[in-house]
Structure formats: C-alpha cells, structure tokens
Amino acid sequence: MIDKIKKIIPNRLKKQIRLMLHKGDKYICPFCNYSSRDLSIIGIDIPILIEKQVVGGGKRFGGCYNCDATDRERLIYIYLTEKVKIFNAGKNQCILHIAPEKNLSRLLLDFCFNKYVCGDLFTEGYQYPAHVQNINVLNIPYGDNTFDLIICNHVLEHIPTDLEAMKELQRVLKIGGQAVLQVPISKNSAQTFEDFSVTEPKQREIVFGQFDHVRIYGQDYVNRLEESGFKVRRINISNEYMKYGLNIDEDIFICEK
C-alpha cells in the first residue's frame, strides 16, 4: 500500500516532503544552505571497503537532501573558501578542475576566473556539461606551469599509471600553486594494494570496492605523491567545520612543487 502511494506522488512533492522531514539545525549545506538534522545515505556497502576502512568510499551518511552534494565535495569547497580564501584572492587565477563536481564547478565557473578549465575523460554513454573538455590526465593539453590551483577529487584510483598522472599534474602546476589530490584511502593499510590482473568490472568491485577502480590506496599515498615530485601537506579540517557535515576521517592532500 505504501509503495503504491509512493508511486503516485510526483517527484517534486516527494522532495518537498523529504526536505520537511529532515529539516533541522545540525548541518547546513554550504552550496544550497539547506539546514538538516541529518545527512542522506550515499555510497554502497562493499565488504572490502569495510574491511580496509576506506575513507571517502562505501556507504555513509554524507549527502545533502536538497542538492545532493557529497561530503567530499563539501570538504574541498570548505577548504577552498575557508583556508585558501579562493573567492577573496581576485579573479586573476588559473584553475584546472578534473572530473568536476556539479555544485563546486558551478560556483567556480560563475566567478569568472582568468582561466577555469574543467576536464574529464569522456566515456561513451555519459553526458558532460558544455564547459567540460575531454581531457586525459596523462596528457593534459596545457603548457608547463599553467595553473595556480588544480582540483582532482577521486580520480587517481581509476588510473593504472597513477604516477604518470601525478607527474603530469605537477608539470602543469605553477610553482607556488597547489594541487588538491583526493583519493579514497584505507585507514588500516600501510601499503597501497593493486593487482593489474584484475580487469573485470565485477571482480574490481569485489577487490577494489568499485567496478572501475584499479587499486586501494594505503597510508603510503603521500609517498607516491612525493615520488612524483610533489611536496605534500596532509591536513584535516573536518573537526573545525562539522556543521557542514564533513567526514571526520577525510584528510586533504595538498601538493606543491
């Protein structure tokens, strides 16, 4: 009976009901300002993600009921606004945003920076907004030292030759600039786990936690970044900004050259 009623309620009304039910004052979404008492469930529970305590992956309370922004998208936004003060530093900045998140990307685009390049590796069957270019991180079509800021959130775990991608990101980063390179990372593994004999999507999901991931990063992620030539700062700001519903365990990896 409840299922039947649910089916006949229009989606817009369903959303209004949901927003009413979850309204509260524990969290506020920095993108849409919706105040809620809790966060929506995002991600899927995959046994390997639980076993390896992968931060930034798996099932968790992390979504905004109104705009669907995730905890990891909010974390980058809060870091950029509260720590980097990106919107106070003037428009004369060049930014590269790989696999751009919808809400964050819209705000950066609207600010009209000197250069705001959005890139994604176009995949058949997916649609991309007009401002997103087909860019392979292994061959970024920009010169050395072009960007003041690079955002690359949960991309490297998809790339077999991640070291090459890191080097390429480093090449296009300006001296004095910073690249924010986030990945899902295992809390209890010292070493990154990869096995390139695993190629089937279903197998990858079992072994790496997602059908298109090629590894699970361990605590040596910083070493890998350093190996590619970056100087790395690992910080955690989640505690300071819990009202934005950030993942307490998610660190930020700031890479400089």
19/110 Cα distance (integer angstroms): 26
32 near Zn ion, rule: CB under 5 A? yes
Residue among 129, 67, 140 nearest 100 (CA): 129
DSSP per-residue codes, 158-191: G-TTHHHHHHHHHHHEEEEEEEEEE--EESS-SS
Min dist. Cβ of residue 107 to Zn ion (A): 12
246 near Zn ion, rule: CB under 5 A? no
237 near Zn ion, rule: CB under 5 A? no
64 near Zn ion, rule: CB under 5 A? yes
Instruction: List the x/- string, 135-174, binding to Zn ion by CB under 5 A.
Output: ----------------------------------------
191/169 Cα distance (integer angstroms): 23
Candidate ranges 2-10, 42-50, 64-72, 233-241; the one touching Zn ion (CB under 5 A): 64-72
Min dist. Cβ of residue 220 to Zn ion (A): 34
214 near Zn ion, rule: CB under 5 A? no
244 near Zn ion, rule: CB under 5 A? no
Distance of CA 147 to CAs 110, 166, 172, Å?
Answer: 18, 14, 6
Q: Which residues of 78-114 are buried (b: 16+ CB within 10 A; e: fewer)?
A: bbbeeebebeeeeeebbbbbbbbbebbbeebbeeebe
Based on CB atoms, which residue is closest to Zn ion, 16 or 134? Answer: 16
Candidate ranges 28-36, 73-81, 201-209, 239-247; the one touching Zn ion (CB under 5 A): 28-36
Pair type for strands 147-153 and 94-98: parallel
* Number of DSSP helices (H) and strands (E) in the chain, helices first: 8, 15
Instruction: List the x/- string, 68-107, binding to Zn ion by CB under 5 A.
Output: -x--------------------------------------
Kindly state the tokens that stand for 231.
């100087």
31 near Zn ion, rule: CB under 5 A? yes
What torsion do the CA atoms of 75, 151, 54, 69 make, to the nearest 10 degrees? 40
67 near Zn ion, rule: CB under 5 A? yes
Candidate ranges 24-32, 52-60, 132-140, 180-188; the one touching Zn ion (CB under 5 A): 24-32
Would you tell me which residues interact with Zn ion (CB under 5 A)?
29, 31-32, 34, 64, 66-67, 69
